[in-house]
Structure 1
Amino acid sequence: MVSAIATVLVWRQRDSRADVWGAVAQCMAILWALVHLLSVSGDTLAWQRYWLLAFFPVLAMTITSMFCFTLYFTGRDEWFSSWRTRLLFSYPIATAVLSLTNGIHELVIVDPALESHGSYEILQYGWGPGFYAFAAVSYSIGVVYLSLLFLKGLRSRNVYRNLTFLIFASIAFLTVLTVFSATKKSPFPHFILHTIGYLFIGVVMIAATLSMRFIQQLPVDRFLSPFGSRFGSLVPLARDFVLEEIDNGVVVLDTNGRIVDINTTGKRMIGTDRAVGNHVSEVVHHDRIVDTGGLGGMLDGTQQLHAVQDELWIASPSGKRCYEVTVSELPGNDGVAAGYVVLLHDITDQKRRQQDLERQKADLETQKTKLEHQNEQLDRFAGIVSHDLRNPLNVANGYLADVSDRTGDDGETVTMEATTVEHVTVSLERMGDIIDDALALARQGRAITEFQDVRLSTVAREAWTNVDTGDATLELDCERSIQADPDRLLNVFENLFRNAVEHGSVASESEDLTISVGFSADGGFYVEDDGTGIPADRRSDIFDRGYTTSEVGTGFGLTIVRDIARAHGWEVAVTDGETGGTRFEFTGLEAARSDA
């Protein structure tokens, strides 16, 4: 019964050929107990002798299955060449032939006879030379797979070391019991002592199969420490030390994504001390993952493991941390992956330095753009001073030169005509206007670095009171806020309102001009009038410095509007209004935080 339960558990949880051969070994334990039950239950010599001889092929097949299990479990399956496999399985076949023909040659058991023990008849016999050959082969194979398991235990770590030692100790214990039976030192007939011992070993193995915690509690390291220092080499000890001390997390996965081994740093990064034996999807805290990159499918178990390198962002009490995750394939002997090694490298500080450098680079680019823009403004200001001021200055100088020519050398008083005074006055006033507008253009075009939450309707109303708008009407539909410099935004509205009043006369003399301010569908805002509009062929010129259709205007108003928009990072365009007037549209705005 114990063997049957163990067989079912191992078979259901199988994920490798080692588990398959482990299940076969458990089945052999069932047959071992069955043939002994049949042997002692009979009351005739032929019956008991037949089932006793049937036991030896079962024992040979048990040893063969344990050998196969050990080779796969310890990763030495490359041993299975075709001729070695045939040689291995010829052993149970030869044993079966030798046992079933024992009546002819008596090489296995000799002189079989029944001996009374109370109400029971027990088969008594001696060992033939065939048995001793069988025992030599069996125990030789047993020594090989016990040695492989022992070395596997020395070289393994964590729960896999405990599991390997448990398997080794169980098989060694049962092997010792067979020695007592083979030398007839057992108080029970035949090899029944092994079956009785298996009652204890089987229960332990079932507990180990069902509970990983049971395996973890085994004091294996304490027991193996003298063996590790005596038989182990410096290399594995140094390797273990390095793996435990490095700052990188190292995780070893089998092909199914189950964690085989993990170092201390890896446990800390993952956030658990009990990772070994669990699937990676069971130990990862998915609620802490901020960005999986291209690793999401492998972390939740929906994607097959494969070699990859990507970044994983995790939320931690100290803030977000970034791990560089490198999954490397462990090649098997048949060219198929035997497992995977995952290297976790904390690159949070590197990422932060990179972000700081990018911010500094962006700041430098901003400063560069700002300086270039300021230089452009200075060049523009210099051009205005040297070119735009020249005309009114020449006019004033011309009139004053005429007056000067008429004064003569004796300083006599000369009468200056009113028209001359008027022309000089107009020229000087125009020079003052140009200077004021040029200064405004230079100031307003500077890049804006500090923004505020500004309610558009409030600034529009203030600008309306600052401009002589005559009988024009203002309509507002802009009760939201934007991020802007309030003083420069005020200057935008003042220039647009002044431009609309001065140049946007309505088609009908009986109608007053109406100016509307509102938000557009794309998140920007507009200033629109219902005047005569701007011809399409002139719209590309209206933002040029000095462009004006007025004899008294400087042509800087709309240039200032464009420069203020650019200083905010906006774009401004002119189109037809809904009623045929002019519409200025501003796009690229950032909504205020309170309205976002």
Structure 2
Amino acid sequence: MIDLQYTPYIIPLISVTVISVVLALIVWPRRPGPGITPFLVLTMALAEWSLASVLELSSVDLQDKIFFSNLQYIGITGVPGAWLAFTLEYTGRERWLSRRRVALLLIEPALTLLVAFTNPSHGLFRARVTLDTTGSFNTFSSVFGPAFWAHGVYSYSLIIAGSYLLFQALLRSPRLYRSQILMLLLSSFAPWIANAVFIFGFSPPNLDLTPFAFTITVLAMGWSVYRYRFMDIVPVARETVIESMSDALLVLDRQNRIVDINPAGLHLLRQSSPSEVIGRMAGELLIGVPDLVEQYRTVMEANTEIAIPDGEKERYFSLKISPLLNRYGELTGRLIVLHEITALRLASEQIQAQNEALMATNR
């Protein structure tokens, strides 16, 4: 039988648990979608962490406290990987999440749990544990071992990586998504600042503020779901859009060097890798159409049709050229988009020929 004690500190932790579960239930029907699965894992990890914290604070005996503290690490070790996976999917980088890499992300949590629960035999996670009965409720303090610090470095690395991806998305995304992303970033800072405060001994004695700070996180996420339609409207990364375009896209700098190109552009230029193209002059790769290269060498804006030789035939494209400006309005290069209209052009010529033949017959 576990002896329990009451402390008002469990109230915000119970709130975090309930709100996390409610958020998961709200988002669950929206599967499948970018970020949905890792978001569900994240909310469930937060719920488990908070609930185990409630049990740890409520228990009286040292061994019970250690057990529930270890139990928290099911959620604690799940949060960093889920956060990184969520930010990867949310920002359109889900291709990085191969099965092999997801499996690698699970290794550290499994090892940490193993070391935490077997700590009495080696002391690598907690070198020393003592029960403090001097306050209004029993707490316990730990002198952390090397395995704890290794877990901390790993966790913070994943959190920082995920936050960096969101920060990049914040700078690039349209206004519609910025409030979502900013809320996510702010909500992620609170618990990790609280965790650092606890680890380095600046929190109230023997009280980990991290799960309490998740109150801010889940409230911010809840507000995002309600106010900004979070997980309904998810930004699509520039890379995803450009890589999947059927139109050839080339970005030239002011010296007409190619600085970016999509797969359709590589196919048009008969190149297999961006490394074969980036940094080269556009004219070097369009040697079959020197007149076109010369004609549009300095054109900043255009919307026309062109023909490009393809063996004994010709391929037809709509050509659109747009200037690229920096934040100060200065010209930095040009965007060239080529949309193939060969089939449309040939069909139009065929219809025109049929109409002319019909008119000749009726004369």
Give the TM-score band, short-chain normalised.
Answer: 0.5 to 0.7
Contact 2:180 2:228 in 1 (8 A): no
How far apart in 1 are the matches of 2:66 and 2:186? 32
1:129 matched to 2:146: yes
- Aligned match for 1:198, one of 199, 214, 236: 214
- What is the deviation of 1:188? 6.3
Percent identity of the aligned residues? Answer: 24
Q: Secondary structure at the match of 2:82?
A: helix
AA aligned opposite 2:227: S
- What residue is the counterpart of 2:199 in the other structure? 182
AA aligned opposite 2:217: I
How far apart in 2 are the matches of 1:189 and 1:7? 31
How far apart in 1 are the matches of 2:31 and 2:212? 27
How far apart in 2 are the matches of 1:78 and 1:136? 25
1:101 matched to 2:131: no
Distance 1:22 1:119, change over 3 A: same
AA aligned opposite 1:86: A
- What residue is the counterpart of 1:43 in the other structure? 60
Distance 1:214 1:35, change over 3 A: closer
Q: Secondary structure at the match of 1:124?
A: strand
Q: Secondary structure at the match of 2:25?
A: helix
1:113 matched to 2:130: yes
Moved more, 182-191 or 168-177: 182-191
Contact 2:49 2:74 in 1 (8 A): no
Q: Secondary structure at the match of 2:120?
A: helix
- What residue is the counterpart of 1:4 in the other structure? 21
- What residue is the counterpart of 1:27 in the other structure? 44
- What is the deviation of 1:17? 4.5
Distance 1:141 1:214, change over 3 A: closer
Q: Deviations over 1:463-487 (max 9, x none)?
A: xxxxxxxxxxxxxxxxxxxxxxxxx
Distance 1:145 1:194, change over 3 A: same
**1:405-424 → structure 2 map (5 Å cutoff):** none
- What is the deviation of 1:7? 1.6
How far apart in 2 are the matches of 1:138 and 1:52? 17
- What is the deviation of 1:213? 7.9
AA aligned opposite 2:102: T
- Aligned match for 1:87, one of 104, 114, 119: 104
How far apart in 2 are the matches of 1:188 and 1:149? 34
- What is the deviation of 1:14? 3.6
Distance 1:85 1:55, change over 3 A: same
Distance 1:188 1:113, change over 3 A: closer
- What is the deviation of 1:13? 3.2
Distance 1:105 1:88, change over 3 A: same
1:153 matched to 2:170: yes
Distance 1:104 1:173, change over 3 A: same
Distance 1:165 1:188, change over 3 A: farther
AA aligned opposite 1:201: T
Contact 2:53 2:69 in 1 (8 A): yes
AA aligned opposite 2:52: V
Contact 2:180 2:230 in 1 (8 A): no
- What residue is the counterpart of 1:398 in the other structure? none
Contact 2:179 2:228 in 1 (8 A): no
Number of residues paired by the alignment? 228
Contact 2:80 2:155 in 1 (8 A): yes
1:76 matched to 2:108: no
Q: Deviations over 1:330-387 (max 9, x none)?
A: xxxxxxxxxxxxxxxxxxxxxxxxxxxxxxxxxxx9xxx9xx9xxxxxxxxxxxxxxx
How far apart in 2 are the matches of 1:56 and 1:99? 8
- What residue is the counterpart of 1:18 in the other structure? 35
1:56 matched to 2:73: yes
**1:155-234 → structure 2 map (5 Å cutoff):** 155-187=172-204, 189-191=206-208, 193-212=209-228
**1:324-339 → structure 2 map (5 Å cutoff):** none
Gaps of 5+ in 2: 1-17, 232-250, 252-358
AA aligned opposite 2:143: G
- What is the deviation of 1:117? 3.1
Instruction: Give the aligned CA root-mean-square deviation in angstroms.
Output: 3.3
- What residue is the counterpart of 1:311 in the other structure? none
Contact 2:50 2:72 in 1 (8 A): no
AA aligned opposite 2:44: C
How far apart in 1 are the matches of 2:21 and 2:148? 29
- What residue is the counterpart of 2:329 in the other structure? none
Contact 1:102 1:109 in 2 (8 A): yes
Q: Deviations over 1:238-269 (max 9, x none)?
A: xxxxxxxxxxxxxxxxxxxxxxxxxxxxxxxx
Contact 2:49 2:73 in 1 (8 A): no
How far apart in 2 are the matches of 1:214 and 1:111? 44
Contact 1:54 1:99 in 2 (8 A): no
Distance 1:64 1:190, change over 3 A: farther
AA aligned opposite 1:72: E
- What is the deviation of 1:46? 0.5
- What residue is the counterpart of 1:577 in the other structure? none
> What's the TM-score once normalised by structure 2's chain length?
0.56
- What residue is the counterpart of 2:286 in the other structure? none
- What residue is the counterpart of 2:335 in the other structure? none
How far apart in 1 are the matches of 2:99 and 2:29? 29
How far apart in 1 are the matches of 2:65 and 2:29? 36
- What is the deviation of 1:43? 1.1
Q: Secondary structure at the match of 1:206?
A: helix
Q: Deviations over 1:14-42 (max 9, x none)?
A: 44151121011011111111111111111
Structure with greater contact order relative to length (CA < 8 Å, sep ≥ 6): 2
AA aligned opposite 1:163: Q
Contact 1:57 1:95 in 2 (8 A): no
Contact 2:87 2:166 in 1 (8 A): yes
Q: Secondary structure at the match of 1:125?
A: strand
**1:576-591 → structure 2 map (5 Å cutoff):** none
> What's the TM-score once normalised by structure 1's chain length?
0.35
